[in-house]
Amino acid sequence: MTTPLLETRGVWQRFGGLIANSDVSISVGAGEIVGLIGPNGAGKSTLFNLIAGVLPPTQGSIWFNGEDVTRMPAAERCQRGIARTFQVVKSFETMTVIDNVIVGALVRTTVMRDARRKAQEVLEFCGLGARANVLASQLIPSEKRRLEVARALATEPKLLLLDECLTGLTPLEAQSGVALVRKVRETGVTVLMVEHVMEIVMPLVDRAIVLNLGKVLVEGKPTDVVRHPEVISAYLGDRHAISA
Amino acid sequence: MTAATIIQSLASGLLMGLLYGLIAVGLALIFGLMDVTNFAHGEFLMLAMYGAFFLFAFFAVDPLLAAPLVAAGMFVFGAVIYLLIVRFAMRAKANIGMVQIFTTFGLAILMRGLAQFFFTPDYRSIPTSWLGGKTVSFGGIFLPVPQLVGALISVAAFGALFFFIKKTDFGRALEATREDAGAVALVGIDKNKVFALGWGLGSALVGLAGAVMASFFYIYPDVGASFALIAYVTVALGGFGSVFGAFAGGIIVGLVEASTALILPPSLKSVGIYAVYLLVVFIRPRGLFGSI
Amino acid sequence: MDTTFAQSRRRDLILAIFLAALAAVVPFFVKDVNIQNIMVLTLMWAALSQSWNILSGYCGQISLGHALYFGLGAYTTTLLFTKFGVLPWFGMVAGGTISALIALGLGYPTFRLRGHYFVIATIVIAEIGLLLFHNWDYAGAALGIDVPVRGDSWAKFQFTRSKLPYYYFALVFCCVAWLVTWKLENSKWGFWWRAVKDNPDAAESLGVVVFNSKMGAAAISAFMTAIGGAFYAQYVSYIDPDSVMTFQFSLLMALPAVLGGIGTLWGPVLGAVILIPLTELTRNYLGGSGRGVDLILYGAVIVLISLARPEGLIGLFSRKPASKGVPQ
Nearest chain B CA: its distance from C68 CA (Å): 15
pLDDT in the model for residue A241? 46
Q: How far is A47 from chain B (nearest CA, A)?
A: 25
**Record: contact C206-A152, CB cut-off 8 A:** yes
Give the pLDDT of residue C226.
Answer: 97
Give the whole-number percent of chain A exceeding pLDDT 90.
63
Helix (H) / strand (E) element for A37: namely: strand A33-37
Model pLDDT, residue C327: 39
CB B213 within 8 A of CB B51: no
Domain boundaries in chain A? Answer: 1-79+191-244
Distances from the Cα of A95 to the Cα of A98, A129, C172, C186, angstroms? 8, 16, 30, 13
Distance CA A140, CA B203 (A): 41
Average pLDDT of chain B to the nearest whole number:
87
Beta carbon pairs, B and C, within 8 Å: 140
- pLDDT for A242 equals 45
Instruction: Tell me whether residue B44 is in a domain.
Output: yes
CB contact under 8 A, C194 and A95: yes
Partner residue opposite C127 with nearest CB, options B112, B229, B286: B229
Tallying the residues shown for chain C, one arrives at 328
Cβ pair A137:B93 closer than 8 A: yes
More confident residue, C149 or A84: A84
B112 contacts C299? CB cut-off 8 A: yes
pLDDT at A244 over 60: no
CA distance C299 to chain B (A): 4
Tell me the chain A residues in contact with residue B94 when contact means C-beta distances shorter than 8 Å.
94
Of B244, B236, B247, nearest in space to B284 by CA: B236
Distance CA B288, CA B248 (A): 9
**Amino acid at residue number B53:** F
Q: What confidence score (pLDDT) does residue B244 get?
A: 87
How many Å apart are CA C240 and CA C30, to the nearest integer?
31
Residues of C in contact with B120 (CB under 8 A): 290-291
Alpha carbons C37 and C170: distance in angstroms, whole number: 11
Task: Label residue B185 by pLDDT band (50, 70, 90).
Answer: low
Q: What whole-number distance in Å separates Cα of residue B95 and Cα of residue C257?
A: 13
Find the DSSP H helices in chain A: 44-52, 74-80, 97-105, 112-125, 141-154, 171-186, 198-201, 222-227, 229-237
**What pLDDT sits at residue B162?**
87
Over residues B204-221, the pLDDT tens digits come to 999 999 999 998 889 999
Q: Please name the residue of chain B whose CA is at the shortest distance from the CA of residue A94.
A: B94
- Which residues on neighbouring strands pair with residue A191, listed in sequence order? A33, A160
pLDDT of residue B76: 97
Mean pLDDT of B36-63: 92
Residue at B292 is within a domain? no
So what's the pLDDT on residue C94? 96
Position B71 pLDDT exceeds 60 = yes
Verify whether the Cβ–Cβ distance C262 to B98 is below 8 Å.
yes
Is A158:A185 a contact under the CB 8 Å cutoff?
A: no
With H, G, I as helix, E, B as strand and everything else as coil, classify residue A13. strand
Distance from CA of A5 to the nearest CA of C (A): 19
Which is higher by pLDDT, B138 or A134?
Answer: A134
Tell me which chain C residue has its CA closest to the CA of residue A102: C191
- Return the residue of B nearest to A93 by Cα: B94
Q: What tens digit of pLDDT does each residue of B165-179 get?
A: 888 877 777 777 766
- Give per-residue pLDDT as tens, A12-29: 998 887 888 989 999 999
In a domain, B37, yes or no: yes
Question: How many Cα neighbours within 13 Å face the side chain of B90?
Answer: 18
Say whether residue C115 is in contact with chain A using an 8 A CB cutoff.
Answer: no
CA distance B112 to B46: 9
User: What are the chain A neighbours of C207 within 8 Å (beta carbons)?
Assistant: 75, 78-79, 104, 106-107, 155
What is the count of structural domains for chain B? Answer: 1
pLDDT of B94: 62
Residue C280 neighbours by CB under 8 Å, 6+ apart: C37, C38, C41
Domains in chain C: boundaries: 31-247
Of C191, C197, C205, the CB nearest to A99: C191
Average pLDDT over every residue of B136-152: 85
Chains that touch C (3 or more CB pairs under 8 A): A, B
Interface contact A140, partner C, CB < 8 A: no
Q: Does B94 touch chain A (CB under 8 A)?
A: yes
Residue B266's pLDDT is what?
Answer: 79
Q: Which residues contact C54 (CB under 8 A, 6 or more apart)?
A: C180, C181, C184, C193, C217, C220, C221, C224
- Cβ of A84 under 8 Å from any chain C Cβ? yes
Q: Are A92 and C195 in contact (CB < 8 Å)?
A: yes
pLDDT in the model for residue B42: 95
Taking CA–CA distances from C124, the nearest residue in chain B reads: B274
The pLDDT of residue C143 is 82
The parts of chain C modelled with pLDDT lower than 50 are 1, 320-328
**Three-class secondary structure assignment of A195-218:** ECCHHHHCCCCCEEEEEECCEEEE
CA-CA-CA-CA dihedral for C125, C130, C134, C139, to nearest 10: 100
Q: Is A81 on the interface with C (CB under 8 A)?
A: no
Tell me the C-alpha distance between C176 and C20, whole Å: 11
Interface check B110 vs C, CB under 8 A: yes
Nearest-CA distance C61 → chain A (Å): 15
H or E element in which residue C256 lies: helix C247-260
pLDDT for the residue C287: 61
pLDDT of residue B290: 67
- Which residues of A lie inside 8 Å of B (Cβ-Cβ)? 94, 137
A42 three-state secondary structure: coil
User: Is B285 at the interface with chain C, CB within 8 A?
Assistant: yes
> Is B236's Cβ below 8 Å from some Cβ in C?
yes
Q: Chain A: residue nearest C263 by CA?
A: A94
**For residue B152, is pLDDT > 50?**
yes
Looking at the complex, report in whole angstroms how far the Cα of residue C306 sits from the nearest Cα belonging to chain B.
6
| A236 — pLDDT class (breaks 50, 70, 90) | low
Chain A neighbors of B95, CB-CB under 8 A:
94
CATH topology of domain A1-79+191-244: Rossmann fold (3.40.50)
Q: How confident is the model at residue A2 (pLDDT cuts 50, 70, 90)?
A: low
Determine whether the interchain pair C206/A78 forms a contact, defined as Cβ–Cβ distance below 8 Å: yes
Confidence grade of residue A82 (pLDDT, cut at 50, 70, 90): very high
Pick from A91, A107, A137: CB nearest C327 = A137
> Alpha-carbon distance B235 to B287, whole Å?
9
Which residue in chain A has the smallest CA separation from C197?
A: A92
> pLDDT at position C57, please?
92
Q: What is the pLDDT of residue B191?
A: 79
pLDDT digits 0-9 by tens, C130-188? 999 998 888 887 888 888 777 777 877 878 778 888 999 999 999 999 999 999 999 99
CA–CA min distance B91, chain A (Å): 16
**Any A CB within 8 A of B97 CB:** no
pLDDT over threshold 80, residue A215: yes
B123 to chain C, any CB pair closer than 8 A? The answer is no
Give the CATH number for residue B108. Answer: 1.10.3470
Q: Where are the beta strands (DSSP E) in C210-320?
A: 238-239
